[in-house]
A and B are shown apart, each in its own frame.
Chain A
Amino acid sequence: MIMEDQTAPKARKEGILIQELSDEVLVYDLESHKAHCLNKAAAAIWEHCDGTNSIRDIALAMGSDLNAQADEAVVWHALDQLGKASLLEQRIPQPDGKPRLSRRELMRKAGIAAMIAIPVVTSILAPKALASATSCGSPCTPASAECVAIPNCTFCPSTGPNAGRCAMF
């Protein structure tokens, strides 16, 4: 029986849209409606997560791709972010149970020169297809600038007796 290698991460390929940009990769998750931006380092690591490459293989391949030194701590850091973003088939626990290094700790360890090889995954939740563009769920004041984020809001009239207040129907 062939045992699946638990330390050979596999990138998720189903239910996502991928757009390659000049130096980054954009991934849209069709299930969670989250969009993720992978910088060059994160994208290189994700690309090598094919279910057969070990962490060490990925570190070597990434170093070669980016022409930079990359150790396994950097790969683990990326895997942590990719796992949280649901971009791996399954999240991979670090074997020795050591806490993963934060980006700041990685930068301190690797030095400023290696900043280019620090993987970063940035995510947003795509806005809902609301029927209203300019509205809020409470009396409309300039303080509630993010009014579209307030739920149950349909319309904020600028004229009539309800002007400046959200009319909820």
Chain B
Amino acid sequence: MDKVDRLGWAAGVSFNAYGLRIGVRVSDSSVFDRVCGFLPPGWKAVGSPVVDRLYSIRVGGEGPRPGMRRFNILYLDGGWIFRSLDLDEALEYFETNLHNWVALYAHRRVFVHAGVVGWRGKAVVIPGHSLCGKTTLVAELVRAGATYYSDEFAVLDAQGRAHPFPRPLGVREQGEVIQTRCSIEELGGVAGAKPLPVRMVVFSQYKQGASWRPRQLSEGQGVLALLNHARAVRLRPENTLAAMRQVARRSTMLRGARGEAREAAQFILDYLDNTLS
């Protein structure tokens, strides 16, 4: 750690996120504000320099000789974990690593890989692996008037409520892999601030030409399907199961292939209006 400490750091912050103390420092103060944009939503700066995990970002750029470039290097505690000539790539890795660590070790919260929106005081959770069309469905629901909560993690508490994790959406064009960051304001939506009780869980997979005819899952089948997307079930199975049980008891859980997101989004909102009012 001493070796990394001696590299020289221009700016930094200790912060608290979901009960975890994390530090981040950068070698170039001009990128500090950008780095802060990658911290977990809801982070709060703390005065103490004592942290559970310390990230250090050494910004690269032009080298000492013409045509020579220095790597952007990400250190975790005492060793480097990633380097790239592209700063954006390094910062994206930093965000992925940080958010996933928070998802694994967050105190009193259960993280599920899922999109979340709010509708008239109820939360809809849309679990799914990457590329299953989760963000597309979240974006469509937001365009239809739902409140944005997350496109990456459903953050659940012991009562089965979903808390906001409103990072910018990672939108992919159809057939593309590369994501473009899109703020919720650009979509014309608003981000939620208060936790909402989960009333619907939708397991959907995009399939070209499919029409949306979901089937309802039993409580137990729904919990099993949710567990498949939980981040820390092996580390904290008791908390994870308890939160999911609360979600399952109060939610309608649906599974099915969907075609265009608009059809599924309208179905979800109509269902919430008609059956859960």
Contacts and interface: CB of A to CB of B under 8 A. Distances in A.
B20 interface: no
Interface in A4-54: 17, 19, 21-26, 28, 30, 33, 35, 37-39
20 contacts: A17-B241, A21-B219, A37-B224, A39-B220, A126-B227, A126-B230, A126-B234, A127-B228, A127-B233, A131-B97, A141-B177, A145-B130, A148-B130, A156-B130, A156-B177, A159-B86, A159-B89, A160-B86, A161-B85, A167-B89
Which applies to chain A's interface (DSSP): helix, strand, loop or mixed?
loop
Contact of B219 (A22, A35, A133): A22
- A-B residue pairs, 4 tightest by C-beta: A160-B89, A160-B86, A24-B220, A37-B220
A142 B131 contact: yes
Nearest to A149: B129
B177 A142 contact: yes
Contacts, number: 152
Given A21-B245, A28-B241, A129 B84 contact: no
B223 A33 contact: no
Among B101, B177, B178, B241, the most chain A Cβ lie within 10 Å of the Cβ of B177
Interface in A116-146: 122, 124, 126-136, 140-142, 144-146
Interface of A: 17, 19, 21-26, 28, 30, 33, 35, 37-39, 122, 124, 126-136, 140-142, 144-148, 155-164, 167, 169
Interface residues of B, number: 53
A35 B238 CA distance: 12
Contacts of B104: 129, 131
Contact of B241 (A26, A145, A146): A26
Which applies to chain B's interface (DSSP): helix, strand, loop or mixed?
mixed
Given A33-B234, A167-B93, 5 more contacts: A22-B219, A39-B218, A127-B227, A157-B93, A169-B82
